[in-house]
Amino acid sequence: ALEVAAGEHGHGGEYSTGIAGYDAWIRALRDGDLFVRDETAGFGLAYNAACWAECRRMAASFLREAQRRLGDSALDAHFDQATESYATVAQEMGRVTELFPFDVGAEVQMAARARDAARRAEAVGALRAARAAEAAGLGALGRIVAALGSDETFPAPSGQRPEAPGGVAQSGGGVSSGALQRVLVGVPKVAYHTDRWRFTPFITSLDACLRFLGEEEQYD
């Protein structure tokens, strides 16, 4: 998850991940001409909102399970913050999905909603709130990884300095990970949009999240 947020598994070009991904999304929503020039942009907007809302809902659930399975009271505060942060991200992403519902077969309606400046402005507000919560969540994940400890390192999310346990920013490098194989092994995971639509960038990011939480997931 931290590697993805840092852009290590990105697709390059105009694509961004992590906090930079929110910035790119917000810029696109503020560019009204984009949704006039490109009739497919409304489809992409609605689909990405649905996928990332789902991903963040699952992240909050995974973190609750990870906290329970690890059973380490020293990590509780960090897990609580991470879970709360990703629940907030999911809630704000949910607002975006309500504004731009994904409905296959209704591409004309999706395009029309994307051209609605008032809808886009409201979505920008939701994404800014999600961005702030995501940043807090990534910080908490970094502290969990550092507290678990290992020789493996993860870079800081793009635009952020890595944090040591207790929230103290480090001067450089990444944060370390630890005994993550104990977390969430054998927990079933069902992702509607991933399984149904085979959205490769979403699968890549979700798979990275699952590996961080301790289970290699296979997709057909």
Assessment of whether the complete model's pTM goes beyond 0.85: no
Residue with tokens 């961004």: 16
The backbone torsions φ and ψ at residue 154, rounded to the nearest 5 degrees and listed phi first, read -120, 140
Reported as a single tens digit per residue, the pLDDT across 81-133 is 999 999 999 999 999 999 999 988 899 999 999 999 999 999 999 999 999 99
Q: What is d(CA 138, CA 140) in angstroms, rounded to the nearest whole number?
A: 5
Angle between helices 117-148 and 76-99 (to 10 degrees): 160
Token duo for residue 6:
């840092």
Per residue in 44-85, pLDDT tens? 999 999 999 998 999 999 999 999 998 889 899 999 999 999
Q: Are 113 and 42 in contact (CB under 8 A)?
A: yes
User: What CA–CA distance (Å, rounded) separates 99 from 149?
Assistant: 42
Question: What are the extents of the domains in the chain?
Answer: 2-212
CA–CA distances in Å: residue 169 to residues 7, 166, 211? 19, 9, 25
CB 31 within 8 A of CB 114: no
213 by DSSP, 3-state: which? coil
Tokens (6 digits) for 123 = 């979505």
